[in-house]
């Protein structure tokens, strides 16, 4: 009876111990995913990074902080800056970065995501202040590379790798937009006038060559005249005006002269029955 009563009295204690052991076991077991690492601290000292997989911690002695190693996409808020040619612009960007050293990301900086965001904002304003507006609009790739290099150099000590920085939108003042629209319109008109002048020049050269051919062969002028009459006749006109070249009139006026010349050149025929005395 005494042993049974003792075991009955120890029953609740055993249950409590089992429950406590189960809780300790659950706290000791850690599972880290493939894209994560667990940074272990033992009594405040850095032990190292573990994972991926299943491992155990010493309850009450070791603690762990998980760090995600995947690429983080973060939008940099719109920043207002003054370019080197004194134009006020608002620019926002997107930054892509990831943790390559989880130990430094935990030990060297309190919040590496917020710190990277603030550095990206200040760097964006600084780079914009050193660039002209034309350079900002036309050399977007070069500005992206400059931003990536500067931000990556500053975050390297935290174990952060900045893979890319992309400038998204450039917001200009309304007055600057109107000025740029007028400039683009003037540039288009300039190109149109240059193309028109080049066409006129080429046409004048072709006309000069055609005039030289027509001048060398008078018959071609008559052929061109007949072709013009054919083109006029195609149209449905009630009245047709026939242009008459002066050369044709001159040819017609020369016909009587040629006839008189031939008549005077022929010898007189003697009249039969008459003598020449």
d(CA 210, CA 206): 6
What is the tens place of the pLDDT at every residue in 97-116?
Answer: 999 999 999 999 999 999 99
Contact 37, 50 (CB under 8 A): yes
Contact 48, 103 (CB under 8 A): yes
Q: What is the pLDDT of residue 275?
A: 43
Q: What is the pLDDT of residue 202?
A: 86
Q: What is the pLDDT of residue 271?
A: 46
Q: What is the pLDDT of residue 94?
A: 94
* CATH class of the structural domain 72-172: alpha beta
Residue with tokens 């952060």: 160
Q: Where are the domains of the chain?
A: 14-66, 72-172, 174-207
């Amino acid at each position: 009876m005494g042993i049974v009563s003792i075991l009955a009295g120890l029953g609740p204690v055993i249950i409590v111990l089992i429950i406590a052991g189960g809780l300790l076991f659950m706290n000791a077991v850690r599972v880290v995913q493939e894209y994560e690492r667990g940074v272990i601290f033992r009594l405040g000292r850095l032990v190292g990074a573990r994972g991926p997989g299943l491992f155990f911690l010493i309850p009450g002695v070791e603690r762990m902080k998980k760090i995600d190693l995947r690429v983080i996409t973060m939008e940099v808020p719109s920043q207002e800056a003054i370019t080197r040619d004194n134009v006020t612009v608002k620019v926002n960007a997107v930054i892509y970065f990831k943790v390559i050293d989880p130990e430094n990301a935990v030990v060297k900086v309190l919040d590496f995501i917020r710190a990277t965001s603030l550095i990206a904002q200040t760097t964006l304003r600084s780079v914009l202040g050193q660039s002209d507006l034309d350079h900002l609009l036309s050399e977007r790739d070069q500005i992206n590379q400059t931003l990536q290099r500067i931000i990556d150099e500053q975050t390297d000590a935290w174990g952060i790798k900045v893979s890319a920085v992309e400038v998204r939108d450039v917001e200009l003042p309304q007055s600057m937009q109107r000025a740029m629209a007028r400039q683009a319109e003037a540039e288009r008109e300039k190109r149109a006038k240059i193309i028109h002048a080049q066409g006129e020049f080429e046409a004048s050269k072709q006309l000069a060559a055609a005039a030289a051919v027509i001048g060398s062969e008078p018959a071609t002028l008559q052929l061109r005249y007949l072709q013009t009459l054919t083109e006029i006749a195609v149209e449905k006109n009630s009245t047709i005006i026939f242009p008459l070249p002066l050369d044709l009139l001159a040819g017609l006026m020369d016909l009587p002269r040629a006839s008189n010349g031939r008549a005077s050149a022929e010898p007189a025929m003697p009249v039969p029955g008459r003598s020449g005395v």
